[in-house]
Amino acid sequence: MQLSSLKGIGKARLESLHAAGIFSLRDLLYAVPYKYKDLSKTASIMEASVGERVSIYLVREGEAKLSRFGKTSRVTCTFSDETGHISACWFNQPWMRENLNNKTRVLLYGLVQMTGSKKQLINPSIESDVRIVPVYRPFDGMPQKTHERIVLESLEEVESICHETLPSTLLERYGLWSCAKAITTLHAPSSMDDLVHAQRRFAFEQMLIYQASIRMVKDTRKQSQSIPFSDSDLDVFWRSLSFVATGAQRRTLREIASDMAKNRAMTRMVQGDVGSGKTAVAMGAMLLCACANRQSALMAPTEILARQHYQSMKPYFEERGFGCGLLVGGMPTKERNEALANIASGAWHIVIGTHALISKGVMYQDLGLCITDEQHRFGVAQRTALINKGATDHTGERNAPHLLVMSATPIPRSLALIMFGDLEISLIDEMPAGRLPVSTRIVAESKRSGMYDFICKELDAGGQAYIVCSLVNEGEDDNQQKSVKAHFEALRKGPLKGYHVGLTFGGQSSDDKNEVLRAFSSGEIQVLVATTVIEVGVNVPNASIMVIEDADRYGLAQLHQLRGRVGRGTAQSWCFLLANPNERLRTLVRTNDGFEVAKTDLELRGPGEILGTQQHGNAMFKGDSAAFGNMQLLYEAAQCAEDLQSNPIYQDEWIIVKKLAEYLIDDISDRVSIS
């Protein structure tokens, strides 16, 4: 069966599926729901708890009413059951008035809040029956109900589509469900308990593959060419910079230099808080490599960050006689070909770029040092693919390049030893002198106008501000999160009228995005309204205010990263979190220490929140799961990988798991392109 043979899938919807990366029935089934609406247990109005999502059978009381406020609309209606009354409101869904007025009794599912002294449902959905409803990530041209229907049709072929990937003996030993059973349950769960079992199976598999990848990388460390250094080399480098290095920076660069001086390839992670000076340390390592007439490649997760590194490093290295170039996706053909030629010939000692650096068409003349920046954005497969670009010597043996990974997401050491067991770890645990800690406040909606007054005063005094929103367009979620485009329009016409306000988001063209960031960096734009595209790679020391809308939607690690965009100058900086107070957000108010934030994150949410599911392997599995935050499951997977590798009785199982890990690494390398 093909996608095109599914009922209701014509040319337009087939193109929508392809645009979402779904080209086969297997792709469709592996694109599992990212959340579920549990309608299986209903509540009465009296039983409905504020702050929770509930499903309630209700009788409509009176007519639904539609109100309009400019481009905004609101539908309100009152309902009752045998225990009391409750109101409901829908924002920007004017069609709900007619839908409601055509019904007397409805099943509503939504969030219960207090409005004054009364309960109210916010943007509830009208449901047809009591069940667990899968919710798929939305994409253009594919309604949720259609998505669910074609998945259910595809599940008839699940046994032949989703072949088992793990050995049956391993499944039995760890109490894991079969692939087909787990996939079926993820799309059509009969209970929340069954969902836990299904999610556990895939979380364990992906954690196991990741652990196998780590061990494979560790086992393949090979001989590397020594890059010599002396104490005077390091002193000359630090004196060449425009600031005084911290003791932690000096210590870390010495650890790196000592590793690179050996004949065995370095594999080291540098952990340091936002703004601690990791980039300067990386530059020192790259300079040592260039002085040994070898190449360094620095891979950043976004084009913004890659271009920032390039612009700041190019003058430094070229002044010292070393070529420095940039390779990113979407470059014009002539520019790309010139870049490839300079990399292959060795004319560029320093190569900076995105995933384009690990494309199959990129050949290095003599790659001596690989650096991945913002390590939490990369998995073991990406850094392995970069290492594999290393040159071979005259005997045909690979001379593995040295590997340096940098992370601004501090990770508790106990977790780091499991997740990055193939790496030595250095800590930059000092901040540059003169930095004031960012003052963080949780701001209630009722205090919004006062916050804008404060922002205007800062802008009048010459400051700049970021305002981060979670969505690009209205209607991307069933809640009322701030849309970055709508918020941009509202701000420049409302509380920030008269100030220069800019807009950037992930879907912008590279040229538009770079121009906006250039204008913000130069001060031409005073306020930058953005999505989390500015989480990394934006360094504007004059920016002193960070506003994060719907802050409770983000993990602590991401909030800490966003907060790190301010506080880079000498002036006092502020971070305002627009949300209802909770323990997670109070952590940010209490401390600016990234390691303390990570410790709390681990306690509250588990490792998945800190590392992201991208670290756990199979890129084909497009879903989210609380199981990825299960610390005990992570330990089990790590121990399983250790047993498979070290115990001969599991040799057959280890061969299968290793092949899965090899497939992961090859698959990512195949899918990366510079076109």
What is the tens place of the pLDDT at every residue in 603-644?
A: 665 554 444 433 333 333 444 444 555 667 877 888 899 899
**pLDDT score of 670 more than 80:** no
**pLDDT score of 178 more than 60:** yes
DSSP letter assigned to residue 225: -
Average pLDDT score over residue span 484-505? 92
DSSP letter assigned to residue 487: H
479 pLDDT band, cuts 50/70/90, is very low
Task: Please count the other Cβ atoms lying within 10 Å of the Cβ belonging to residue 76.
Answer: 16
**pLDDT score of 310 more than 60:** yes
What pLDDT shows up at residue 82? 94
Give the pairing type, strands 295-299 and 367-372: parallel
What pLDDT shows up at residue 263? 86
Which amino acid, residue 615?
A: Q
The CATH number assigned to the domain with range 41-127 reads 2.40.50.140
pTM to 2 decimal places: 0.60
Cβ-contact 637, 323 below 8 angstroms: no
Domain with CATH 3.40.50.300 in the chain: 223-428, 439-591
Average pLDDT score over residue span 37-54? 88
Average pLDDT score over residue span 244-269? 91
Average pLDDT score over residue span 56-67? 93
Give the pairing type, strands 501-504 and 574-578: unpaired
342 pLDDT band, cuts 50/70/90, is very high
Average pLDDT score over residue span 458-481? 74
Give the lowest-confidence range in 47-56, 351-360, 388-397, 610-619: 610-619
Q: pLDDT per residue over 181-217, tens digit each?
A: 999 999 999 999 999 999 999 989 988 988 887 777 6
673 pLDDT band, cuts 50/70/90, is very low
Task: Please count the other Cβ atoms lying within 10 Å of the Cβ belonging to residue 439.
Answer: 14
Domain with CATH 2.40.50.140 in the chain: 41-127
The CATH number assigned to the domain with range 223-428 reads 3.40.50.300
What pLDDT shows up at residue 407? 80
The CATH number assigned to the domain with range 439-591 reads 3.40.50.300
Cβ-contact 45, 77 below 8 angstroms: no
472 pLDDT band, cuts 50/70/90, is low
| More confidently predicted of 594 and 478 | 594
66 pLDDT band, cuts 50/70/90, is very high
Q: How far is CA 300 from the centre of its chain?
A: 13
Most confident of 79-83, 130-134, 262-266: 79-83
What pLDDT shows up at residue 589? 94
Average per-residue pLDDT in the chain?
A: 84
DSSP letter string, 547-601: EETTGGGS-HHHHHHHHTTS--SSS--EEEEES---HHHHHHHH---HHHHHHHH
The token pair that represents 216 in the structure block? 């494979």
